[in-house]
Amino acid sequence: MPDRIALRGLVGHAFHGVYEAERRLGQTFRADAVLELDTAPAAAGDDLARTVDYAELARALHGVLTGEPVDLLETLAQRLADVCLADPLVDAVEITVHKPQADLGVPFDDVTVTIRRTRR
């Protein structure tokens, strides 16, 4: 199993969605990112430069999460994955986007879309 760095529960108010009210009022979105990479070089040298700086990653992901609106959670998840894979140390990433305030017309806890992308 590869080494993993997980960033869970990133929260932001955004305007994603297909419906006009979603675009006008916005709602809370959450995202989780699980990165796969080799952390041994960083651990051996106790060197942040040889791993992913998760504070920097969190800021970049938050910018996408709260940035340009998209219709689909699938599109948002892909954009978040692209940010993670822009780091050459990251071999693969699993992204989950949560939309707990979606208007489904029935009671529910959460709606999520999860994707996994690897470096090609």
pLDDT tens-digit map of 61-114: 999 999 999 999 999 999 999 999 999 999 999 999 999 999 999 999 999 999
Name every residue whose Cβ is closer than 8 Å to that of residue 110 and which is 6 or more positions away in sequence.
98, 99, 100
The structure's pTM equals: 0.96
Q: What is the CATH number of the domain that holds 88?
A: 3.30.1130.10
List the catalytic residues.
Answer: 99
State the DSSP string of 88-102: TT--EEEEEEE-TT-
Domain hosting 27: range is 3-118
Q: How far is CA 70 from CA 10, 12, 51, 98, in A?
A: 18, 14, 30, 14
Q: How many domains does the chain have?
A: 1
Chain segment 33-51, per-residue pLDDT in tens: 999 999 999 999 999 999 9
